[in-house]
Structure 1
Amino acid sequence: MKIQKFEDIIAWQKAQDLAVAIYKEFEKSTDYGFKNQIQRATISISNNIAEGFDRNSDKEFIHFLYILSGSCSEVRSMLYLSVQLNFISSDKVEKLINQTNEISKIIRGLIKSIAPQLTTNN
């Protein structure tokens, strides 16, 4: 079954959930630079899925998937830092890190499923 719209992509759904969780977790943070960066990086994950999907090109979609994979790693890195800075407890951050790992795994699978089509369609 071919995906008809980006909203049907599981990684996009999970990225939206992650963004909501990050916003809620850091909403009262007074370190506005940190808060802004982690929120922007998190939003970038689902936005790049949407933008890449609607380019209607597998090659461009994969390009955007690689970009969002980097954003996912950025969020994970900032989450580790947030524990060291005592912005969040290690228990809370573990759940968020698990979410980023799950999204990354789905994205890697999506890239692997699309990439072979590029060689057969050219």
Structure 2
Amino acid sequence: MPVKYFEDLEVWKEGRRLTNRIYDVTEDTRFSRDFGLRDQIRRAAVSVMSNIAEGFERGGNQEFLQFLYIAKGSCGEVRSQLYVALDRGYIGQNEFNELFKSFKKLSVMISNLIDYLKSSRMKGEKFKKPQYKSLREELDALTDGVSRSGR
């Protein structure tokens, strides 16, 4: 089944799930007092799912790739901030391991999507040309578009 919306992407769904986990973890009293780290790790987690969504909505593979690289970078940022949270005692080793592993898996999912898009011959939705049955149908569509634009 073709993916029509970014919400259909498994990688986006996983990013959403992990963003909610980060929000849950950072609501803990120990973590919530460190406003800088709390806000930064939340922004980085939100950035992952947001960049996947924005890149998908651009409609072209090259732009989507750019946003996927940003999302992948944000995954790394979250993992780095998890070390700070562990070192400061805001999260325990088990929680760190679970979150770190999950964000590493998400990073791999993004990498796999990047590899797929780079090898795909499809350039993206905005580059798709409509399929016409005849030259007459194509010309009618073009002249209809011109008349609607007021030219």
Q: What TM-score, normalized by structure 2, do the two folds share?
A: 0.76
Deviation at 1:117, TM superposition (A): 2.5
Deviation at 1:2, TM superposition (A): 2.9
Deviation at 1:102, TM superposition (A): 1.0
Give distance in 2, aligned partners of 1:41 and 1:105. Answer: 17
Deviations 1:46-85 (A, max 9, x none): 0000000000000000000000100000000000111111
Q: Which residue of 2 aligns with 1:115?
A: 118
Deviation at 1:116, TM superposition (A): 1.7
1:10 matched to 2:4? The reply is no
Q: How does 1:32-111 map to 2 (within 5 A)?
A: 32-111=35-114
The code of the aligned residue for 1:19 comes to: T
Deviation at 1:38, TM superposition (A): 0.3
Give distance in 2, aligned partners of 1:22 and 1:5. Answer: 24
Give distance in 2, aligned partners of 1:117 and 1:15. Answer: 23
More helix by share: 1
Say which structure, 1 or 2, has more relative contact order (CA 8 Å, 6+ apart).
1
Q: Which residue of 1 aligns with 2:141?
A: none
The code of the aligned residue for 2:57 comes to: D
Q: Pick the structure with greater CA Rg.
A: 2
Give distance in 2, aligned partners of 1:93 and 1:8. Answer: 28
Q: Which runs of 5+ in 2 are unaligned?
A: 124-151
Q: Which residue of 2 aligns with 1:24?
A: 24
The number of residue pairs the alignment matches comes to 120
Deviations 1:6-65 (A, max 9, x none): 011111111111111110101131000000000000000000000000000000000000
Report the identity percentage. Answer: 38
The code of the aligned residue for 2:26 comes to: F
The code of the aligned residue for 1:44 comes to: S
The code of the aligned residue for 1:94 comes to: N
The code of the aligned residue for 1:91 comes to: N
